[in-house]
Amino acid sequence: PREKVVNVHGSMGAAACERCGQEMDFDEFCEKVRCNIKDITGEDAEAPAESTPIQCEACENPTVKPTIVLFRGSMPKEFHTLTAQDLPECDLLIVMGTSLMVAPANSLVYRIPPTALRMVMNNERVGRRLGIDYSENSIRDVYAHGQSDETCLELAEKMGWLDDLATTVEELPDSSARLLRERLAQRRQEE
């Protein structure tokens, strides 16, 4: 569920005013991008020749953008609040799609209880300097090499969650939905 996810470095799936924090409906934001922002690829003949900033309806400043956290930007308040609240109870930390080079997000790997498992789902082994152990003798660290969509789908399948995940297929990004549908079809053929 979305309420269980904290986008530590923001999201390309949400938009807000950088100055006042007023959120903008994401579909409306996407439409304003299509109407206001120059297409540097030259693929959209209807795109404007010049870009104009997207104005905030609340404060009228031209500072609406995706909610991604740019370098030296502030982390979302919920990150700090939920970290203090959730980490002591953590029994599994899944780390995916990251270099683990940027603080404070990378500190999560050593702030969880020593009994918690850490699963790194990534294209490369990261976090050795933070204490992640990739040796065969590792007790708490597991490495799942590959693309995030594929490794998450594999985990869901091993946990017996594919049927639950299938109920959300229409809400998933196209590439994730396609992978899930293929895996479900493959499972039906094997039965």
Spell out the per-residue pLDDT of the chain, length 191, in tens.
667 777 787 788 889 999 999 999 999 999 999 999 999 998 999 999 999 999 999 999 999 999 888 877 778 888 889 999 999 999 999 998 889 998 888 999 999 999 999 999 999 999 999 999 999 999 999 999 999 899 999 999 999 999 999 999 998 888 999 999 999 999 999 98
Confirm whether 80 is a catalytic residue: no
- Residues in contact with 153: Cβ distance below 8 Å, sequence separation at least 6, in sequence order: 165, 176, 179, 180, 183
Q: Active site residue: 6, 7, 9, 75, which one?
A: 9
User: Which residue has tokens 């956290």?
Assistant: 69
- Residues in contact with 63: Cβ distance below 8 Å, sequence separation at least 6, in sequence order: 17, 18, 19, 53, 56
Residue 60, φ and ψ in degrees, nearest 5:
65, 20
- CA Rg, the chain, in Å? 20
Residue pair 29/38 in contact by the 8 Å Cβ criterion? no
Residue 1: its pLDDT value, please? Answer: 63
Q: pTM for the full model?
A: 0.73
Q: Supply the angle between the helices 148-158 and 174-190 in degrees, to the nearest 10.
A: 40
Q: How many CA atoms lie within 13 A of 12 on its CB side?
A: 2
